[in-house]
Amino acid sequence: MAGPVEIAVLLLLWYTVSWGCALVVLLFILLSPFKQRTFIDVGAWIQSSFLELLVGTMEVFANIEVEISGDYIPPRENAMVLPNHLNHDWAPLYCMAYRLRMLGWVKTVIKQVVQYVPGFGWVMWILYWPFIKRDWASDAPKLDALFATYSRLKIPLQLWLFSEGTRQTPQKLAESQAYAKQQGYPHFDHVMLPRPKGFIAAVNSLRANVTHVYDVTLAYEGWDSIGPGILEMVTRSARRRVFHIHVRRIPIGDLPIKEDELKKWLMKCFEGKEAVLKEYYSRKCMPGTQHPKVKPTLFSFLFPLVFWVSFVLAATVATLRMVL
């Protein structure tokens, strides 16, 4: 159960990201009109350094373990990531991106309404995150234009696409199963049916930007639910808790070109996730080769910690002096 210390840590992270968002907006106004690529690089560093604090909070403060299995992934590789979606799955994915040295270049295909959220929604838009309405007649050309910008500016990229479209709940899973039965699709107990339109649009637009697709299957050990919440992920516990990450790495050139074949490929991908999770829940272990465990220490996050503490303290003091 979360205590006052954990709640204080979460509030400090929120306060820090609020100042970080203000810094990105200021740099966007001052730097972007004259040095667009320089702004992008600085913005990526700010994103990476804050997310390192988040990863450190989960892995060092809350003592969550990260176990990765499956194919080897080289660091700093441009890729599209296709995970299952249980709850706050950005948490293990950020831990994976940290190990791949890609935290600053993570972007998620996300609902357009988020870009209007003051602070982090604005910053996601400023940093070229892709927003969609789920109206693919209008979304597809926007994604094409945005991904063309990535290519023109040679922006490194790890793009996350949650093809199930929403977080899994018992009700949503039951609805997905009923629809699958009605349409003659496979029955899934651990994942929901994927929605192919966004996947097809992203793959066709990203072939010039990414070299691989990561078929990622996530599972959580040590929590009472299949997908823990934000507060649970920063809460310390004597119980062993693990982010399980299983990866299948596929060259994007191996994916088919035609839409109907891409749709079948995506369905096969989720059939594979279902098989992986069935094995995990029966054996409490992901299949395939287990990667060497990497356990970060507080020293690993010392530089971003010192930077953000110094910056937030200085910004707070300066604001108080102006107000008082």
Q: Report residue 237's pLDDT band, with 50, 70 and 90 as the boundaries.
A: confident
pLDDT value of residue 247: 97
Evaluate whether 174 touches 212 at the Cβ level (below 8 Å). Answer: no
- Average pLDDT rounded to a whole number, residues 205-218: 93
Count the residues in the chain: 324
Residue 266 to residues 21, 59, 82, 131, 200, Cα–Cα distance (Å): 35, 32, 10, 21, 9
- Average pLDDT rounded to a whole number, residues 246-274: 96
pLDDT value of residue 145: 87
pLDDT value of residue 169: 92
Residue 149 to residues 37, 57, 81, 121, 192, Cα–Cα distance (Å): 11, 33, 19, 20, 32
175, containing H or E segment? helix 170-183
Q: Side by side, which strands form the sheet with 106-108? A: 65-70, 242-251, 212-221, 79-83, 158-160, 106-108
Give the burial class of 287: count Cβ atoms within 10 A of its Cβ; 0-12 exposed, 13-18 middle, 19 or more buried. Answer: middle
Taking the C-alpha atoms of residue 201 and residue 6, their distance in angstroms, rounded to an integer, is: 40
Q: Report the amino acid identity of residue 219.
A: A
Taking the C-alpha atoms of residue 30 and residue 33, their distance in angstroms, rounded to an integer, is: 7
pLDDT above 90 for 106: yes
pLDDT value of residue 2: 66
Neighbours of 166 (CB within 10 A): 12
- Structure token digits, residue 110: 């996300």
Evaluate whether 88 touches 229 at the Cβ level (below 8 Å). Answer: yes
pLDDT tens for each residue of 19-66:
999 999 999 999 988 899 999 999 999 999 999 999 999 999 999 999
User: Over the range 135-147, which residues count as b (16 or more CB within 10 Å of their CB) and which as e?
Assistant: eeeebbebbeeeb
More confident position, 225 or 243: 243
More confident position, 24 or 289: 24
Residue written as tokens 């108080």?
A: 320
Q: If you average pLDDT over every residue of the chain, what do you get?
A: 92
Show the domains of the chain with their CATH numbers.
65-295 (3.40.1130)
Residue 12 to residues 15, 35, 60, 298, Cα–Cα distance (Å): 5, 32, 16, 17
Strand residues in the chain grouped as ranges (E):
65-70, 79-83, 106-108, 110-111, 131-132, 158-160, 212-221, 242-251
Q: What proportion of the chain, given as a percentage, has pLDDT over 70?
A: 99
Q: Report the amino acid identity of residue 107.
A: K
pLDDT value of residue 257: 92
320, containing H or E segment? helix 302-323
pLDDT above 80 for 256: yes
pLDDT tens for each residue of 118-161:
888 899 999 999 998 877 777 878 888 888 888 888 899 999 99
For the ranges 126-140, 178-192, 264-278, the lowest mean pLDDT is seen at 126-140
pLDDT value of residue 63: 94
- Structure token digits, residue 284: 């409490």
pLDDT above 90 for 4: no
Neighbours of 55 (CB within 10 A): 24
pLDDT value of residue 1: 61
